[in-house]
Structures are given as C-alpha cells and as structure tokens.
Amino acid sequence: MILVGGQGTRLRPLTSTVPKPVVPLVDRPFISYMLEWLREHGIDDVIMSCGFLATSVRNVLGDGSGMGIRLRFIEEPDPRGTAGAVKLAEPMLDERFVMLNGDVLTDIDLTEQIAQHAATGARATLALVPVADPTAYGLVILEENRSVREFVEKPSSDSVESNLISAGAYVLERDVLDLVAPDRNVSIEREVWPLLVGDGLYGYPSDSYWLDIGTPARYLQGTFDIIEGNVETAVRERLGSDWLAVHESAEVFGRVIPPAVLERGVRVAEGAHVGSLAVLAEGVSVGAGTTVERSVILNGSEIGEGCQLRDCIVAAGCRVGARTKITGGAVLGEGVTIGADNVITRGARIFPGVTLPDGAIEF
C-alpha cells in the first residue's frame, strides 16, 4: 500500500497543476520508480491511497498492467493520517503487507527486509537509513536483535545513540490495524509505533540509496542521482555506456555533455550547450548560444537565445525570452512566460500562468 494523499505543497509550483505522484522525474512519472522497485521484489498487487487530484493519478497510471502489476486506488473522504488511510483499505489487504510513503526514491532491498520480518516473527518492521546529522531528525534506537528500543526526537549532539531514521517503508502484519480506530485521523508514527515497542516492532537498517523527493532541491538531486546511476533504476540501462539518452528524433546542433537525457522532438540550436546533468523533456527547444546544465526542462518549453539555465526547473509549456538567466534553484510553474533579459534566481518560484515582461526582474 502506497500513501500518496498529500498535496505536495513543498514542491509547488510543480504540484500546483500536477499531483505529486505523477510529476515527471527524468523520463517517467515519479511514482513509477516505486512501482518498478516493488515489482522487482516480487510485489505485483498495489493499492494507492489518494487524496489531492486523485483522478489525475488514475488517468496517468491506469490499472498498472503496462508495468506488470495490479494497481488499485482508494480515496480518502477526508485526511486520515498515515494509519487512518491504511485502516480505510483494511478489507483489501493481505495478512502481511508492505506500507510505503509515496514521496520516497529508494533501492532498499525490500526482499531482505521482508525476510528479516518473517525470521524475527515481527508485527512491524521499519526500514531505517543513516543520516549525516542525526540531531535534525527523529531517530530510532535498536537493540542488538534489531527490535526497536525507543524513538528519540531531534536529540542533542552529546546524546546521540543512533543515526538511523525511518525510511517510510514498513512490513506489517494486518493485526497491527487493530490498534487503529476507524474513521479518524491517526498517525502510525506517533500513535501506533509507540504501542508496539517491546511487542514485535523491529528495524531493518540499510545503507541503500534513499531520498525524500519533497522539495525542488531534492527533486533536482533525485534527477541527478538517477542519471548518474547513484540509485538503481531502469533509466541506467537506457543511458548506456556513454551516459546519454538522446531520442532519434532529437535535432542537436549544439553540444551535449553527459549525463543527459533528451526526449522526442527536442531541438538544440547551434552554439547551445546542454549538460552535464540535464533533462530535456519531449518537444523542448533550446536557442542558439544558450547553456542548460544541472536543470530539468519539461514538455514543450521553449528557451530563447543566449540564456543561462543552471540548477533550475522549468515546468511544461513555458516560454523563456532571450538572454534570461534562471539559476539558484528557481522553479517556473506550468505555462509561465518570462520575457527577455530577466534574472530569476535565489530559489524563486513563479506560479503557473504568470507572465513577466522583458527586464521585469533582475536580482
């Protein structure tokens, strides 16, 4: 069961018009990475708990048959929290099931996690990953047998016993849902896990790749990690030994530096420089003398001549005028028009449909 009911507010304006699970990430909807990961570990029956723009999610993903899985949907009538959403789907669940936070990009060995769960006789097994700064997170403290001893919220640096946090991937026995009251908002992290400490709650530590794609900066990081091969995905095979995926219909008159992905109908004009770490989605055009690096440009956007795009995200259907600079984590929402000679930087977020005239902004 995958929880995708949030509105993705931290990722706006990308999620202002597109639900977070189907926001494009490199060459497919974001949630496809999780579905492919599940299939690789033998899970072929998936329930998605949706809220915001649920119909759009179903329209994009369909019934899952194209990915070799059975995909079913359930809609929360109102926000139910992480445990409440699963309780709503209880009649659809097996005696043992996997619960996932839909915001995560990971290649954790789920098969091994499930095997540990069975071997220990656990009621719930939490995938755990290490973090560099434990003081910024809620930590999970394990006993030697990997049972959970306690949870510690944002400890001080002199009292840190662990650097493990929850990765949002849980193996559960269905009887855990007996602890969840029906028809109300319940947090599995705050209200259920504490009840299971000493009663069948285990951790599964992993050093595998894990990233919460919750902000534009992390969206870009996830993109770079995928096309650099830092996380195991199907995109790696497509990039090949030269770390380039350029569709045969793309017209490239400029220079492309790997790793990079250029989709169907992309046009890169003479003197333009694309990459490294660039994704140009279907129908994108890049003008003469323009540089696009460490950036994502989504479907049908047009970038004018002499522009500089670096560390930025441009959503679908945008128009960027000549000599404009978009840098520093800036994000353009869908259908934005930016005139010539503008400077958009410092994490600026331009929301869908906005039009800025020539020279309107210069930091």
The pLDDT value recorded for residue 81 is 85
Whole-structure pTM value:
0.90
The pLDDT value recorded for residue 107 is 93
Q: Identify the H or E element spanning 60.
A: helix 54-61
List the domain boundaries for the chain.
Answer: 2-214, 240-356
CATH code, 2-214? 3.90.550.10
The pLDDT value recorded for residue 136 is 67
DSSP 135-181: GGSEEEEE-TTSBEEEEEES--GGG----EEEEEEEEEEGGGGGGS-
Tens-level pLDDT at each residue, the chain (363 residues):
998 866 667 788 887 887 777 889 998 888 889 999 999 999 999 998 876 556 777 777 878 888 888 988 888 777 788 888 899 889 999 999 999 988 889 999 999 999 999 999 999 999 999 988 766 667 888 899 999 998 877 655 665 677 888 888 999 999 999 999 888 888 888 889 999 999 999 999 999 999 988 889 999 999 999 999 999 898 988 999 999 999 999 999 999 999 999 999 999 999 999 989 999 999 999 999 999 999 999 999 999 999 999 999 999 999 999 999 999 999 999 999 999 999 999 899 999 999 999 998 876
The pLDDT value recorded for residue 45 is 93
**Domain 240-356 sits in which CATH superfamily?**
Hexapeptide repeat proteins (2.160.10.10)
Q: 283: Cβ–Cβ under 8 A, 6 or more apart, which residues?
A: 263, 264, 265, 266, 299, 300
